Chain A
């Protein structure tokens, strides 16, 4: 049980680190997926070892997967727009607005 939580924690930390440091927009989106999956692992692990009565945790995980896919779709669409507008998808390109 702890191992799963630790694994999730590590995944979450990697994702967090990635979102903050990645320059590439697609890289950021991928890191976000890692964070979602960390939560997924938590849910499933809790459902399996702690709360054995129902399947709420596993259902939650399935919903998260679906929603994350939707989010990624929109994200990639916007990344395409970014590419069209700037000819590049690095975060440095698009920061016109400051303060």
Chain B
């Protein structure tokens, strides 16, 4: 065998390299200052994320390492989301790095940055191996982050649950991927797509059995990662137990990473089998059922939650359902709508978690009834939280509404243009009905803040970074709701990226 050295194009990987080095700097800075770095290390980490963002903006598109590493619109778009989420998560973690984890600030922030690096690699991977490694680099630091409060039983429990589920889902995913590799003869996603399309025509019966097995294990693995029912039970426990900034990061960035993995494997790799006439198993329909049940389960169970973090966990399950609706609509709107939705969801969710973290630090509680009278003591936070909750509900003209609108538009278009996918009308119907349920529980939080029984909520003091995060959340929510143009233009590039050329 003769190997040909591929073209590296290392400069494409510059953002990742910068962030990786920065993570090491953050780690060693904390050590060098003998763990007395205070909040300086936090600012350092935030600056690193910002710089990475700038570098990313100036790094062009292209392919490197043969075709293993791709920087296309989709990759850049999602990397932006990851970086924003990391920035906001670090910003809202100043409270805990100040009081609770005094001796491990550097590790906390470093792990968060490493996880972000993993996500960025994942977004750029064009190949199953690098995709897998990126995915693991994303999740392994998160296991440690979830269990970061070493003496808090809830946090440790969250950590082990997340670890077992994470590793389990990776194993399922790998087992499925190994069959895909066997069937297609390549780990390259584009080659895989072509080969699978060819094998679908040629030796169908031989392929069918194995393919069904592979699809089911992969879907189960991704289902766990995205917390889609019936693989969602871990999410509420982990979200509730983990430190709040980590929960925020999990619910946005790691979800986005799961989406990217899904888009890469299913939408790109298994594209040929999206057509139920060709596929031995209609994975579109399977995911549709998962998405539908995610919307139902997430929204309905969220109604009875009293813990804010747990409620947001269920609501994030529901949001994953909405996003999958857009993902399933494999037309030129589909992936664009997923991108926009994720973008809108990020601002609102990170902002809400920042407020939740602030309240939790002050009162030690994330129970919704304890928010009673919160609007009196901290009107600014209450208004911000209301705006972001309304965005998640999907009230125009906020960004969340536009995301929902975009997703449903994609689904209706798919249902209308392809008779095979008429069942997507049902999905849209379920989505709409459950949105009304969602309105109920989000409004419930607003109601408690404004009209609820008075509890002695002290005035919440906020630090500059937390304020920045909340402002970013609110401004992002409002501005991208009123002027979605910029993001829409950007997002609509996703489906015509280098690797995903949809028909």
Contact = CB atoms under 8 A, between A and B. Distances in A.
A70 B181 contact: no
Nearest to B127: A56
A78 B171 contact: no
Contacts, number: 129
Interface in B91-139: 128-129, 132-133, 136
Contacts of A85: 151, 153, 156
A53 B140 CA distance: 32
Contacts of B170: 36, 67, 71
A74 B163 contact: yes
B179 A36 contact: no
A17 to B, nearest CB: 12
B168 A46 contact: no
A54 to B, nearest CB: 7
Nearest to A67: B136
Interface string A17-51: 00100000100110010011011001100100011
A5 B248 CA distance: 41
B151 to A, nearest CB: 7
B275 interface: no
A7 interface: no
B150 interface: yes
Interface stretch (B234-242, B337-345, B346-354): B234-242
B95 to A, nearest CB: 22
B160 interface: yes
A94 B140 contact: no
Contacts of B159: 78, 81
Interface in A64-91: 64, 67, 70-71, 74-75, 77-79, 81-82, 84-86
A82 B1 CA distance: 50
A56 B129 contact: yes
B129 A59 contact: yes
Grouping DSSP codes into helix (H, G, I), strand (E, B) and loop, the A interface class, with mixed when no group exceeds half, is: helix
A58 to B, nearest CB: 11
A94 B153 contact: yes
Contacts of A53: 1, 185
Nearest to B177: A39
B230 to A, nearest CB: 14
Nearest to A41: B178
Interface in B18-68: none
Contact of B129 (A28, A60, A79): A60
Nearest to A74: B143
Interface string B300-311: 010000000000
Contact of B136 (A8, A50, A71, A86): A71
A81 B237 contact: no
Given A19-B164, A50-B185, 17 more contacts: A8-B178, A32-B167, A32-B171, A42-B175, A42-B181, A42-B182, A53-B185, A59-B129, A60-B128, A78-B143, A78-B144, A78-B147, A81-B150, A82-B160, A85-B153, A96-B154, A97-B241
27 contacts: A8-B178, A39-B171, A43-B178, A46-B178, A56-B181, A56-B186, A56-B187, A57-B181, A57-B187, A60-B178, A67-B140, A71-B143, A71-B167, A74-B144, A75-B160, A78-B147, A78-B156, A79-B160, A81-B156, A81-B159, A82-B160, A85-B151, A86-B153, A94-B160, A97-B154, A97-B157, A97-B237
Interface of B: 1, 128-129, 132-133, 136, 140, 143-144, 147, 150-151, 153-154, 156-157, 159-160, 163-164, 166-168, 170-172, 174-175, 177-179, 181-182, 185-187, 236-237, 240-241, 301
Interface of A: 8, 12, 15, 19, 25, 28-29, 32, 35-36, 38-39, 42-43, 46, 50-51, 53-57, 59-60, 63-64, 67, 70-71, 74-75, 77-79, 81-82, 84-86, 94-97, 99
